[in-house]
Amino acid sequence: MKAHYYLGWFNNFFSEKLGRLLQEDITDRKSLAMISSNPSVYEDDGATERSWLDQAGIIFDEYHLINYRVQKKDAQTKIQNASVIFLLGGNTLKQNGFLMEYDLSKFIKKSSAVVMGASAGAINMSAKWLCSKNFGYKVEMSSVYTGIGLDNFSVLSHFDLENNIELVQSELSLLSKEINIYASNKDCAVRVKGDKIDVLGNVFLISNSKIQKLNETI
């Protein structure tokens, strides 16, 4: 049974609990495919996220960074062959555009790999997400973007929720009437495996305009 990990950002490394879960879920370690969130920039892309896995003792035989240096067909093949797919953090909009341009979403959805996303990557894994200047995007008008849709909910990841609860609740009120939204800050994770959703760290659920802090289940 494959697992999906919607991560915040980790200033140091994965917690012991999260590392243990990943060790259990990632049994096939032949190939890690990392999808850039800034595919025109090549230096050090993915180094931080890879260091988290290294620290947790999760080492792969092959590492592939998917960006504009990789041809579209090759990128799709690397996704199909990956043991783990990791959508990197950074620029949510650029990554969303890259996923569409390279037609990667359908291959990610069909894959039997463990799929992970950090910050921007976690947002793009979700079914849809709100792009708003109040969330730090350089846009004039708020709009809803379509993500990969691995699970039927929305994600707001790596945002200072604790000091902006009312803003977040107001901004996401309309979308939350259509779809559940999991919102988290740093050092957090939402893990979906089968029908079970687990949370680690400070994770909030916004549903039908109401917001509640969830209890950790990991």
pLDDT at 1 over 90: no
3-state secondary structure of 32: strand
Q: Are 26 and 60 in contact (CB under 8 A)?
A: no
The predicted structure's pLDDT at residue 95:
98
pLDDT of the residue at 114: 98
Neighbours of 64 (CB within 10 A): 20
Confidence (pLDDT) at 210: 95
pLDDT digits (tens, 9 = 90+) for 54-89: 999 999 999 999 999 999 999 999 999 999 999 999
What mean pLDDT is reported for the chain? 95
pLDDT at 162 (0 to 100):
77
Q: How confident is the model at residue 159 (pLDDT cuts 50, 70, 90)?
A: confident
% of the chain with per-residue pLDDT over 90? 90
> Which pLDDT band holds residue 45 (cuts at 50, 70, 90)?
confident
Of residues 61 and 163, which shows the higher confidence score?
61
Cβ contacts of residue 149 below 8 Å, gap of 6+?
105, 109, 126, 127, 128
The length of the chain in residues reads 218
Residue 165, pLDDT score: 87
Q: Does 126 have pLDDT greater than 90?
A: yes
Pairing assessment for the beta strands 196-200 and 31-35 based on DSSP bridges: unpaired
pLDDT tens per residue across span 29-44 = 999 999 999 999 877 7
User: Residue 24's pLDDT band (boundaries 50, 70, 90)?
Assistant: very high
pLDDT at 46: 92
Give the model's confidence band at 158: pLDDT under 50 very low, under 70 low, under 90 confident, else very high: confident
3-213 belongs to CATH 3.40.50.970: no
Widest CA span in the chain: 46
Calculate ∠ Cα 49-51-54, nearest 5°.
Answer: 120
Taking the CA atoms of 76, 3, 7 and 163 in sequence, report the sign of the dihedral they define.
positive
- 122 and 8 Cβ atoms separated by less than 8 Å: yes
